[in-house]
Amino acid sequence: MTVLAVVLGVALLAFAADQFVLGAARVALIRDLSPMVVGIVIIGFGTSCPELLVSALAAADDRPAIAIGNIVGSNIANLSLLLGIGAFIIPLVVASSTVRREAPITLAATVAFALAVQGGGITVLEGALLLIALGLAIWKVTSGSAPDVLGSETEELASASTHRFGTEVARTVAGLAGTVVGAQLLLWGAVDIAERAGLAQGFVGATLVAVGTSLPELVTVIQSARRREPDLIVGNLLGSNLFNALGVGGVVGLVGGMGIDEPALTGFAVIAASAVALIVLVTMIARRTVGRVEGVVLVVLYATLVPFLS
């Protein structure tokens, strides 16, 4: 039953969260919201809905290590494993000034989250500050007024002009409901596995749970790669990490993110997440391209880091 719960939870998260993001993006575009804002806020942040739900449920259930581990593990997986997979499919040449502006902000958010979890977790005050920082980050990233390639790639992915408003609203609501159920199944299964196997909850959160909640990002990466939309791939992953660190981290702090006694999680794991974000930022500044060789290196980097998260 535990394995079945995890499998069903992961499958439901992958499908339902993708439908939620797609429906929400189409609704926003039909209502004439800026495509660039849709690409950053709805697609980039929307793919983090599973992380938000799982971490919030875990924190409310007094399991802050799983909540924090999910955030850290997802951020590591996004900019190593998933970015590497995207780069292996197509070379990621970043032309969007918005995405380049987003990269240093994402690094700063990751470092801010790393500092917040020191001392055994995120306090209510730190959670509130992270959420305020998220609002400022959204304003900064979306403040550009010039046309951007990210906007056109977002419109192509969503194809809103060929869909009905009512249908997409229903898709969005159903996708959100399915994501909630999938998050609960994955959390229940992950907790049971941790207890039966004697594994640290933070490690399970940073690996099994994090990979499961990152599947919507993977779906978007593959869809965007097939359409040859590299800016949307990188923007989606950066936006997801930004929201994970500030938005999900802030919610966990408000719900109850204290009581973590796992040095590997609050030490090595958050440093690794910051280091991976720094590597991606330096790569984008130096070359603006993540090629297939770099993609393979990133995937290997992820596989190398995982054993040290326990």
**What are the 10-residue block averages of pLDDT along the chain, 310 residues in total?**
89 89 85 76 84 93 93 95 93 80 92 93 94 92 67 70 83 91 91 88 92 88 85 87 95 89 91 93 80 91 90
Q: Output the six-digit token pair for 267.
A: 């030490």
Q: What local confidence, expressed as pLDDT, does residue 27 receive?
A: 86
How far is Cα 101 from Cα 232, in angstroms, rounded to an integer?
14
Residue (of 112, 109, 50) closest to 79 by Cα position: 109
Give Cβ neighbours of residue 108 (< 8 Å, ≥ 6 apart).
none
Domain span at residue 154?
2-309
Alpha helices in the chain (DSSP H): 2-30, 35-37, 46, 49-60, 64-77, 83-89, 97-116, 124-141, 149-158, 165-197, 201-204, 210-213, 215-226, 230-242, 249-256, 263, 270-286, 292-305
Q: What local confidence, expressed as pLDDT, does residue 58 receive?
A: 93
* Other beta carbons less than 10 A from residue 301's beta carbon: 19
Q: Which residues pair with 290 in a beta bridge?
A: 92
Q: What local confidence, expressed as pLDDT, does residue 92 receive?
A: 87
Q: What local confidence, expressed as pLDDT, does residue 144 receive?
A: 63
We report the CATH number of the domain holding residue 221 as 1.20.1420.30
What is the number of structural domains in the chain? 1
